[in-house]
Amino acid sequence: MAKTNTALKSKDIFDKAFEFTKVDEVRAAGLYPYFKPLTATDGTVVEIEGKQVIMAGSNNYLGLTNDPRVLEAARGAILKYGSGCTGSRYLNGTLDIHLELEDKLAEFMKKESCVLFSTGYQTNEGSIQTIAGRNDIIFSDKDNHACIVVGTQCSTAKTVRYHHNDTDHLRKLLEREDSSTGKIIISDGVFSMSGTLARIPELVELAKEFGARLYLDDAHAIGVLGDQGRGSASVFGMLDDVDLISGTFSKSFASLGGFLVGDRQVIEYVRHFSPAHIFSASMPPANVATVLKALEILKEETWRLDRLEEISTYMRNGLRELGFNVWTSQTPIIPVVVGDILSCFRFWKDLFEAGVYVNAVIPPAVPPGQSLVRTSYSATHTNEQLDMILEAFRKVGIKHGIISGNGQPQVEV
């Protein structure tokens, strides 16, 4: 009897990749908005495909990526320590400036201790799975960033997701669980697509009522909002009421890496048990030095925070007055809702041709039918650049029938 050729019957694990043709189709239509290489940048103006455009899609909130003092600090660190640490913090990769940065961040955030991670993504992914284990429960906002979602998936804890920013739903979920179980509520402090703040006073109240811990990811809040840029909890004067706060260095701090602050014993536990910390190479010297200098500038030049708030208010009001739907943004992240995916890509392309670079965001990052272009601003944007951005949005919005030109939405989105 002939043997069956099982290889002919089995499914190729690469089939999903071979069948994924949407990107090629969008590229062929000239509408692909991702992975655009920047060939030059001064922070607010970038060169892409030989064209100079205003950058209105960066997280360079304080405008420090090209600051001469920051660049000099990075150069000095490379000359002193070399280009990398070639090891994990746990073994041979700890420099004196790593410890200095941890001390200064803990002091700045008014917490007992701080631990650094090599990226902001790793900070949440690596901390959550370490803190929440078997027999614990994580309560996670449905719109939390992907790194939080992955952290909950890696954890052995049970995870329940509450409706976005819906503390009534969160209360119901808390009421259903055993009061003796270890519980932690995790939320973005500022949500990265909508630019809205979490309902921190209510989260604090629920955490205290149900004996839960509270963890905020302040990637888009530290160096942006609150008391001297200390983030979302400080907006409400509640830093002391939040157990753990994570942040990133890839935004306001003009570098790469992340951190977690909290009580000393909790941070020490994360430092010694988080796989993402123990088994990853430590932040390179130039990155650490950049953050140290950016933190120093943040504390000394408070005008940057004032200017950022002024710009955010101006652009939010300007886009609303033109007739755009910007959801409930409260920060320098200001979304402009377009509609379906292809319309979003066409809108993005016309803005680019008009000299403005933004980010096209499509499902599942946003609800179906609410694809949007995400704008974000730096303290170093000039008034002239802001008005040029608004004029580009006006022209493109009218062209695409999203606004009428008289300050009213043309269509429901």
Q: What angle do CA 154, 155, 157 make, to 5 degrees?
A: 145
Q: Which residue is catalytic, options 111, 145, 251, 293? A: 251
Token duo for residue 26: 């969008």
Query: Collapsing DSSP states into helix, strand and coil, what is residue 115?
Result: strand
Closest CA to 393 of 350, 363, 342: 350
The SS3 call for residue 336 is strand
Which of 287, 137, 305 has its CA nearest to residue 225? 305
Which one from 111, 183, 220, 277 is the annotated catalytic residue? 220
Kindly state the tokens that stand for 114: 């701080």
> What backbone phi and psi angles, to 5 degrees, belong to 282?
-75, 165
* 381 assigned to active site: no
Residue 251: helix, strand or coil by DSSP? coil
d(Cα 230, Cα 221) in Å, to the nearest integer?
Answer: 7
The residue with tokens 């703040």 is: 197
Q: Are 396 and 354 in contact (CB under 8 A)?
A: yes
Q: Look up 192 and say whether it is catalytic.
A: yes
Q: Which of 58, 140, 192, 255 is catalytic?
A: 192
Q: From CA 143, how far away is CA 198, in angstroms rounded?
A: 10
**141 bridge partner residues:** 162
Q: What is the token pair recorded at 275?
A: 């796989």
Is residue 220 part of the annotated active site? The answer reads yes
**Which among 112, 42, 118 has a CA at the least distance from the CA of 86?**
118
CB 154 within 8 A of CB 127: no
Residues β-bridged to residue 172: none
CA–CA separation, 172 vs 274, rounded Å?
A: 31
Distance, CA of 142 to CA of 213 (rounded, Å): 18
- What six digits make up the tokens of 99? 């410890």
Q: What is the DSSP string of 48-80?
A: ETTEEEEE-B---TT--TT-HHHHHHHHHHHHH
The residues carrying an active-site annotation are 192, 220, 251
